Amino acid sequence: MQTIQDVMSRDVKSLSPEDTVHRAAQVMKEFDIGAVPVRDGDKLVGMITDRDITIRATAANKDPATTRIGDVMSTEVRTCTASQTVDEVLAEMGQTRIRRVPVIDQESHALVGIVSLGDMAVKAASDTDQALGAISQPGQNK
């Protein structure tokens, strides 16, 4: 049975809550990603997503050059550990309708990686169709 450590991305770009929304957008563009973990030191404190930028910053008419990530990021972040099974995390992603999950160290809770639905589809022997179907259903996305 495959575990998250078998499929996760280890080289994770992260930002600080003090960085600006503009900086987050630049990082997303540079790395072609839609979400960036936000950490204070080693501790994961949130995620900034392209949706956060659109809804909480742009639609609220906040200046991206001066608005801090900490003011618009998602703070309730689902995480997993490297030792969890792909099937377990995939099921949770489907239930909670999220596409990426930060991977934290079980003991220190430090960010050690990130796993996306795409990682699992490409690298895992697990069937991702059910999770993709659940994530793609209309409704409130996370």
Q: What is the per-residue pLDDT for 93?
A: 93
Q: What is the per-residue pLDDT for 142?
A: 44
Give residues with Cβ within 8 angstroms of 33, minimum separation 6: 13, 27
Q: What is the per-residue pLDDT for 3?
A: 94
Task: Report yes or no: 98 and 78 within 8 Å, Cβ to Cβ.
Answer: yes
> How would you classify the pairing of strands 35-40 and 43-49?
antiparallel
pLDDT tens digit string along 22-43? Answer: 999 999 999 999 999 999 998 8
Give residues with Cβ within 8 angstroms of 3, minimum separation 6: 82, 83, 84, 85, 86
Q: What is the per-residue pLDDT for 37?
A: 97
Which domains does the chain show, CATH number per domain?
4-135 (3.10.580.10)
Q: What is the per-residue pLDDT for 141?
A: 46
Regions in the chain scoring below 70 on pLDDT? 124-142
Q: What is the per-residue pLDDT for 124?
A: 64
3-class secondary structure for the chain?
Answer: CCEHHHHCECCCCCECCCCEHHHHHHHHHHHCCCEEEEEECCEEEEEEEHHHHHHHHHCCCCCCCCCEHHHCCECCCCCEECCCEHHHHHHHHHHHCCCEEEEECCCCCEEEEEEEHHHHHHHCCCCCHHHHHHHCCCCCCC
